[in-house]
């Protein structure tokens, strides 16, 4: 697998970066997000995770995506405003990307090769699919969309892998 931490990404405000620069030496929870989805309230739980574990080397990273029933139709600025005003999000967001298909971002081309707990790899199933990435760039776990961010399963997984 390619070095995930150094694949170029663009942040919501247009800055070119990489996971290594966004969250150096951190456990990263990368989540494809959408503002008009039935799972959108998961932003609340993602923000709670950021507040709870951020000082311990953990970062949530949102990856807005409009590939699932057009549920993220806004511009990067509109998405940032929605997240700030509706959920008081403090974690970083990428510029809107594709996670599946020919136009999938290179980061997601790599991530979709990873199997979930049931041994299933392939396309991202829906909004709010999660990938827990170690500070070394290894994918620790692929978590399907309906798993709530603050569930026991998630918090146990995060706590077991915090770098500090």
With respect to residue 66, please indicate whether it lies within any of the assigned structural domains: yes
Q: Is 37 a catalytic residue?
A: yes
Return the CATH number at 127.
3.40.30.10
- For residue 24, name the pLDDT band (cuts at 50, 70, 90): very high
| Beta strand extents in the chain (DSSP E only) | 9-10, 16-17, 27-33, 58-64, 130-133, 139-143
pLDDT single digits (tens) 35-81: 999 999 999 999 999 999 999 999 999 999 999 999 999 999 999 99
Displacement of CA 93 from its chain's centroid (Å):
8
What pLDDT is stored for residue 75 in this prediction?
A: 97
> Structural domain of residue 151, as residue ranges?
9-160
Q: 54 CB contacts (<8 Å, ≥6 apart)? A: 90, 91
- Give the span between the Cα atoms of 85 and 106, in whole angstroms: 30
Cβ atoms of 148 and 42 closer than 8 Å:
yes
CA distances 68 to 2, 23, 140, 149, Å, are 26, 27, 25, 20
Task: Look up residue 36 and give its two tokens.
Answer: 């008009």
With respect to residue 95, please indicate whether it lies within any of the assigned structural domains: yes
Cβ atoms of 94 and 126 closer than 8 Å:
no
Longest pairwise C-alpha distance within the chain: 39
With respect to residue 2, please indicate whether it lies within any of the assigned structural domains: no
Cβ atoms of 69 and 35 closer than 8 Å:
no
With respect to residue 4, please indicate whether it lies within any of the assigned structural domains: no
pLDDT single digits (tens) 74-126: 999 999 999 999 999 999 999 999 999 999 999 999 999 999 889 999 999 99
With respect to residue 85, please indicate whether it lies within any of the assigned structural domains: yes
What pLDDT is stored for residue 164 in this prediction?
A: 74
- Give the span between the Cα atoms of 162 and 50, in whole angstroms: 12
Report phi then psi at 161, rounded to 5: -120, 5
Question: What's the domain count of the chain?
Answer: 1
Q: To which residue do tokens 């020919």 refer? A: 102
What pLDDT is stored for residue 68 in this prediction?
A: 97
Side-by-side strand order, sheet with 27-33? 58-64, 27-33, 130-133, 139-143
With respect to residue 1, please indicate whether it lies within any of the assigned structural domains: no
Q: Which of 11, 17, 36, 37 is catalytic?
A: 37
């Amino acid at each position: 697998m390619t070095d995930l931490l150094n694949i170029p990404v663009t942040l919501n405000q247009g800055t070119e970066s990489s996971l290594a620069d966004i969250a150096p030496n951190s456990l990263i929870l990368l989540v494809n997000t959408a503002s008009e989805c039935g799972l959108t309230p998961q932003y609340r739980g993602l923000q709670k995770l950021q507040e709870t574990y951020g000082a311990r080397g953990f970062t949530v990273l949102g990856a807005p995506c409009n590939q699932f029933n057009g549920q993220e139709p806004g511009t990067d600025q509109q998405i940032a405003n929605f997240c700030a005003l509706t959920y008081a999000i403090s974690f970083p967001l990428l510029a809107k990307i594709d996670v599946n298909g020919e136009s999938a971002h290179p980061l997601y081309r790599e991530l979709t090769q990873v199997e979930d707990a049931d041994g299933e790899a392939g396309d991202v199933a829906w909004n709010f699919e999660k990938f827990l990435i170690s500070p070394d760039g290894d994918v620790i776990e692929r978590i399907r969309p309906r798993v709530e961010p603050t569930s026991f399963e998630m918090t146990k997984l995060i706590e077991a892998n915090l770098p500090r």
